[in-house]
Amino acid sequence: MPGPAASVSLGRLCAGADGPPVWYDTAQNALLAVDPVLGAALPLFGRDNDAELMARLAGELPGADVRRALAEIRRARADEGLFALAGPPAALADLDALVRDAQTKLSHLVLGLSERCNLRCLYCPQDHEAGNVMSEATARQAWAFFASHSVGASRRTVSFHGGEPLLHFPVVEAVARTARAAPGGRQVRLCLDTNATLLDEAKVRVIAELGLELQVSLDGPAHLHDRWRRDARGGPTHASVMAGLRRLLAVDPGAARRLRFVATVGPPFAFAEVAAWFDDFPLYRELGIGITPVVRLNTANLAGTRAAQRCEPRALPLLWLAGRNEARGQYAAAMAAGRRRDLPRALADLWDDGLVRWHHRRRGPEPGPGFPTGSCRPGLRRLFVAPDGTLRPCERVGPGQAIGDLDQGIDPSALRRLHEDLLAALGDRCRTCWARRLCRACFTALVATGGAAESCRAAQAQAADLLDLQVSLQQHHPDALAFVAGSRLE
Ligand code: SF4
Ligand code: SF4
C-alpha cells in the first residue's frame, strides 16, 4: 500500500450535476462523468493513504466498492494520463524568444500621458494632481519605437491613457496624425481611454477626422454612476459624460461604431441593472442610433480608496455576491429557456466568454514546464510607456517594474527579473493547483505583496464558477451551448 502522497488528484468535483458526479480533470483538461464511488474517492485520493481514505468513506460506502474505485483511479492514471497529483513545474518563459519577439511583434502600445484627471472618482487609485506629463517629444519617440518594433505584428493598436488623456489632447493629436501618415497607419487602431467629460466641438472634429476609437468610462444610469464618479468639487458627472457623447455623435454619428464603454460596478454591485440600462442605451434611443453598445462590466477594486471608507468592509463581499448571483441567475434562466439572445449583451458577455474559452481550450496533457495558462507574460505584445519614457509591461504595474526606456529599449535583465519575481510569488503552488489550466490570474496582482494568495483564490473561484455552469448546461440544456461552435477566441 502506498504511503501518504503530498497532494490530491488534481481536479474538482463540479456542482450542479444532478446525474452522475462530474469530475474536472486537470491533467487532461476534461470533464468526466464518474460513478458515485469514484466521485467520493477522487477528492481524497493522494491526500490520505488507502487505509485512511477507506476509513473516511467507511460510513458512506461499501469497502469493496472503494477498493475497486482506488484500483480504477490507479489504472486510469497509468493508462490514460488521468488523475495526476501534480502538473509540470512553473518555469521561466523562453526569455530570449520573448526579447526577440519584442523587436518585431509588439502589437499594443499604451501611452500613459499622465495621472492627472479632471474628475475625482471615489474608487480611483490614482493621484490626480502630482506626477509627470508626457511631452510631445516623448510621445512621438514612443510611437517611433512602436512603429519599428511592430513590423511583424498582424494588428496594431495605440491606446492613450491617463488619468484623463483629453487633458493632453495636443499630444494625442500629434501622435495620431503621425501614426495615420505612417506606412500602414490607416490600419492602426487609435484608442482613447476617456471619461468623455472634456469632449468639446474642436476635439470631436479631430476625433472624427482621425477615426479615433473611444473607450468611455460610464458606470450605468445616473443614480449608480454618480454615487462614485465625482468631479473635483464632489459633484455628479453623469450629465457631463452624456453631454460629451452627445457633442461627439452630433458631429460624428459614425462614432457610435467606434465607441465602447467600461462600467466599473461598485456597491451596490447592480450588474444586471447596469447591463440592462446599456442594452436600451437612452442616448442612442434619443438619437435614433440602432446599435447596441459594447460594454465591459468590471468590479470596482475599492481597496485603499476613498470609496472603501464609505462602505462596511464586511458587507462588501456579500453585496458583491448578491449582485453577481442576481446576474448569474438571469443568465442561467435565459440559457435554460433558449433566450440567450434576449439577454443584455454585457450580462451575456460575463459568462459567454468563459464558455467560449472552455470550448477552445487546449485538450489533453500539458506540454511541459511553463507558466500557468492565465498569468500574462510581461514583455509580450503589450508595452506601456510612462510619461518619463520608461517602459513597463502594462499600465497596471508601477515604476518598480520598469523593463527599460525609450532610449535603450527593452532591457532583457529587467525582463528576467520580472519573470523571476512572478515565479517567486507563485512558489510551487501552481504545480498542485487544480485550476492551473483555467487560470486567469493577472501578473500584477500575483506579484503584489501578499497578492498571490488573494488572486489565486479569485482565479480558482472564477474557474469553479465556469465549470459548474458548463456542467449544468451540458447536462440540462445542451442546446444552449450551441453558440460556442461558431465562436472565435479574441
Ligand atoms: S475618470 Fe478615471 S482617472 Fe479620472 S478620477 Fe475617475 S477613475 Fe480616476
Ligand atoms: S490560481 Fe494561482 S496557483 Fe493556481 S494556477 Fe493560477 S496562479 Fe497558479
SS3 per residue for 170-237: HHHHHHHHHHHHCCCHHHCEEEEEECCCCCCHHHHHHHHHHCCEEEEECCCCHHHHHHHCEECCCCEC
Assessment of whether the complete model's pTM goes beyond 0.75 = yes
User: Ligand 1 mean position to 280 CA, how many Å?
Assistant: 25
Long-range contact pairs involving 484-490 (C-beta distance under 8 Å, separation at least 24): 484/355, 484/356, 484/358, 484/359, 485/359, 487/356, 487/359, 487/360, 489/356, 489/357, 489/360
DSSP code of residue 259:
E
Q: Which pLDDT does position 374 carry in this prediction?
A: 66
Instruction: Specify the ligand 2 atom closest to the Cα of 452.
Output: 2
pLDDT at 6: 47
pLDDT of 375 over the 70 cut: no
pLDDT above 50 for 299: yes
pLDDT tens for 103-154 read 899 999 999 999 999 999 999 988 777 778 999 999 999 999 999 999 999 9
Torsions phi, psi for 90 (to 5 deg):
-65, 145
Q: How far is the CA of 163 from the centre of ligand 1 (A)?
A: 6
How many angstroms separate the alpha carbon of residue 210 from the centre of ligand 2? Answer: 42
426 Cα distance to chain centroid: 19
Top CATH class, 89-311+370-433: alpha beta
Q: Give the closest ligand to the alpha carbon of residue 451.
A: 2
Residue with CA at minimum distance from ligand 1 atom 6:
121
How far is ligand 2, taken at its centre, from the CA of residue 8, in Å?
A: 16
Please give all residues whose beta carbon lies within 6 A of any atom in ligand 1, as ranges: 117, 119-121, 124, 126, 162-164, 195, 217, 229
Look at residue 92 in the predicted model and tell me its pLDDT: 74
Query: What whole-number distance in Å separates Cα of residue 444 and Cα of residue 418?
Result: 10
Nearest CA to ligand 2 atom 3: 430
Give the start-to-end residue ranges of the domains of the chain: 11-86, 89-311+370-433
Q: How far is CA 444 from the centre of its chain?
A: 12
Q: Please, what's the largest Cα pairwise distance for the chain?
A: 80
Ligand 1 atom closest to 163 (CA): 3
Ligand number nearest to the C-alpha of 305: 1
Among all bound ligands, the one having the nearest atom to the CA of 167 is 1
The predicted-structure confidence for 218-257, as pLDDT tens digits, reads as follows 999 999 999 999 999 999 999 999 999 999 999 999 999 9
The helix (H) or strand (E) run that includes residue 347 is helix 345-359
Give residue 452's pLDDT: 78
| Mean predicted confidence (pLDDT) in 461-471 | 95
pLDDT at 81 over 60: yes
Tens of pLDDT along 348-372?
A: 999 999 999 999 999 999 888 877 6
Ligand nearest to the CA of 12: 2
Query: Residue 4: its pLDDT value, please?
Result: 39
Buried b / exposed e along 219-242 (16+ C-beta atoms within 10 A): bbbbebbbbbbbbeeeeebbebbb
